[in-house]
Chains A and B, each alone.
Chain A
Amino acid sequence: MTPRDPLARLAVAFGAFVVVTLAPRPATSAVVFALLLALLLGPACVPLRRILRGLTPFAFFALTSAWIYAVAPDPTYGAIGGTGWDAALLVTVRTLCVGLISLGYVLTTPAAGLARALVHRAGMPRRIVCGTLAAVQFLPGLAEELRMARLVARAALPDQDRGGRIIVAIRRWAAGLGPTIIVTLLAGAMRRADTAAIALELRGVAGPGQPTPWRVARFQRDDAAFAVLSGLVLAAVAILTWR
C-alpha cells in the first residue's frame, strides 16, 4: 500500500494534528508519535539520521517551553491547564509529535509532486505555484551567496592582527554578518527572481492552452485505504487515551 496522493496525506496530517493539539493528556501524543515513527522508519524507509536532524528544532522548542511551564507557569497559555511538571511533559510530547507530523509530511512529499497536484487537482494557477517553487529554489543559492559575501568581508579586514587570537577569530567569523545581511540576501533573491521569471516565461509557464497533467498523483485505492486506516487508528488512540 503506497499512498502517493500528496493532498490526501495533507488531510491526514491535519487530522492527526487536530487530535494531538486537542488531547488533554500526553499519552495521546506519545502513542501517535510512536506509531508515526514506526511508519516512517518502516514502510516509508526514511533514514533515522534525517529524522533526528529534522527533530532538533522541535526538541529545542519543547525543552524551553517545558522549562517555562515547570518553573513559571505562563498565564497566557490557559489551554494547557495544570501547572508544574505534568504541563511541562504535555507541552514537550505534544511539540515533538507535531514536529514529527510536519517532518514526516515534508520528508515523504516531493515538492514538485505536491506542486503539480496543487495545479492540476486543486486548480491553483500554475504561474503562482511554479513561481513559488522557483523562489524556494533560491535558498541554497542564497546560502552560497552568504558564503561569498562573508569571504569578501573577511578579505577586507585590515591585515595586521590587532588583539589576541580569539578576538581576531571572532572578528573574522563575524565579518559580513551584520544586520545588512538581510538586504544582501534579499538583493540576491531579487536578482535571481528576474532571471527565474524570464526562464519561466520562456518555458511557457503562462503559455496559451492548458498544461498537460504529467505524473500527477491521483486519489487511488491506496490513498483511500491509508486515509481510512489512519482515521480509525487516530480515533482509537483518542478514545483509549482521552479519559
Chain B
Amino acid sequence: MQRWTQREIVVVAAIGVVFGVVYLAWVQAWLFARPFIGPLSLDIFFGLWCIASVVAAYVVRKPFAAFFAEMVAAVAEVATGNPAGLILLITGAVQGAGAELPFALTRWKRYDTAVLVASGASAAIFSFVYTWIRFNYGALSPGLLVVMLTIRIASGILLAGLLGRYVARALHRTGTLDGLAIDADRRIAA
C-alpha cells in the first residue's frame, strides 16, 4: 500500500475544506428550490454533496482518499455552521464510504471515467439506505421510492462523478497539481 505523503494529506484536506464551503452554499440553494420542486428536491440536489470525494480520489489516487475528503468536508461544514449540525459527521462518513467502494474494488488502480461514475452512483446508494433508516422511508409508496432512488443515482453520476472529473482536470490545467498522481495523465497538460 503506497504511503501517503504530507503534501497529499494537506491537498486532500484542502479539497475537503473548499468543498465544505461549496456544500454549505449548495444547501442554501437546495433550501430555496425545495418549496418549488417538492419532495424529490433532495435527490436531485444530492450529487454535488459527494463531489469532494471524487475530485480527491482522482487527484491523489491513494487508498481512502475519497473517504478522508468527505470527512474533512463534513467537519468543515459543521465548523462553518451547517444547519444539520453534528449529524453531518455520520452523513459524511456514509457518503465517503460509498464513494470509496468502487476505488477499493478496483484496488485503487483504475481512475477512468467508469470508476468515477460508479463512485458517484455508489455514494448515492449508500446515502439512500442511510436516509431510509433516518427518515423512515418505509412509510412511503414503493413507486415513489424507486423514482427517488433512480434520480439520486443519476444525480450522483452527473454532479459527483462527471462534474468531479471535469473540475479535477480543470484544476490540473492550472498547474498546481504537478508531482501528484493525476500528473500521470501527461496528455491533460498538453
Contacts and interface: CB of A to CB of B under 8 A. Distances in A.
A189 B85 contact: no
Given A72-B38, A76-B42, A182-B22, A135 B140 contact: no
22 contacts: A64-B35, A71-B35, A78-B140, A98-B83, A99-B81, A101-B86, A102-B86, A111-B79, A128-B68, A134-B10, A139-B17, A139-B76, A139-B80, A186-B55, A187-B174, A190-B14, A190-B176, A191-B176, A196-B10, A197-B7, A200-B6, A206-B6
B72 A75 contact: no
Interface string A172-197: 00000000101101110111111011
Contacts of B83: 57-58, 60-62, 95, 98-99
Describe A's contact surface by its main secondary structure: helix
A17 B28 CA distance: 23
Nearest to B144: A75
Contact of B135 (A76, A128, A197): A76
- Contact residues on B (Cβ < 8 Å of other chain), bracket: 35 or more
Interface of B: 4-7, 9-11, 13-18, 21-22, 24, 27-28, 31-32, 34-35, 38-39, 42, 55, 68, 72, 75-76, 78-87, 134-140, 144, 148, 167, 170-171, 174, 176-177
Nearest to A195: B10
Contacts of B84: 98
A226 interface: no
B137 A78 contact: yes
Contacts of B136: 78-79
B6 A68 contact: no
